[in-house]
Amino acid sequence: MTIHAEELVVDTRGGGDMHDVTAWVESVVASAKVRDGILVVSVVGSTAGVTTIEYEPGLASDLSRSLDRVAPADVQYEHDKRWGDGNGHSHIRASLLGPSLTLAVMSGKPVLGTWQQVVLVDFDTRERTRRVVVQVMGE
């Protein structure tokens, strides 16, 4: 059993800023030299998330608009009342998307569909430096 981990630092703009990290995830799997197993991609922080999507402008916009309806920025959140930082909606959106993603590894590659990319989405109200971790496990 091999376990291999790497970290990527990404500067983000917040506000739904989306970054395609697929090529980096694939390179981590290649470095791990794992033929078959699993990988976990996770972002450190409570106002960002990781998912898969067809990474193209239309879907990026659709995801953003959908999350605007589910967790709008212009309503009052208890978090904002307590901390006064105005990013309650960011925490809710990140919770809905989730901080991590698990994928199968087969034949030395992450199992992804033709139009499926791994993305980091930052929902905070300001610029951030995000840490994304990939851990690959298998043989």
Average pLDDT of the chain, as a whole number: 97
Whole-number Å distance between alpha carbons of 94 and 22: 19
pLDDT of 58: 97
Give me the amino acid identity at 100: S
Q: Domain residues of the chain, as ranges? A: 2-138
Q: Does the domain spanning 2-138 belong to CATH 2.60.120.460?
A: yes
Kindly calculate the radius of gyration of the chain based on its CA atoms and give it in whole angstroms: 16
pLDDT of 24: 98
Structure tokens at 1: 């059993």
Contacts of 48 (CB under 8 A, 6+ apart): 12, 94, 99, 120, 121, 122, 123, 124, 128, 130
Residue identified by tokens 């139009």 is 115
The percentage of residues in the chain with a pLDDT greater than 70, rounded to a whole number, is 100
Structure tokens at 76: 């009052």
Give the pLDDT band (50/70/90) at residue 3. Answer: very high
Q: What is the per-residue pLDDT across 42-77, written as a single tens digit (0 to 9) for each?
A: 999 999 999 999 999 999 999 999 999 999 999 999
Q: What is the per-residue pLDDT across 90-103, written as a single tens digit (0 to 9) for each?
A: 999 999 999 999 99
Q: Using the 8-state DSSP alphabet, how is residue 124 labeled?
A: S
pLDDT of 80: 92
> What phi and psi values does residue 90 have, to the nearest 5 degrees?
-65, -40
pLDDT of 49: 98
Interval 119-139 mean pLDDT: 98
Q: Which residues of 65-78 are buried (b: 16+ CB within 10 A; e: fewer)?
A: eebeeebebeeebe
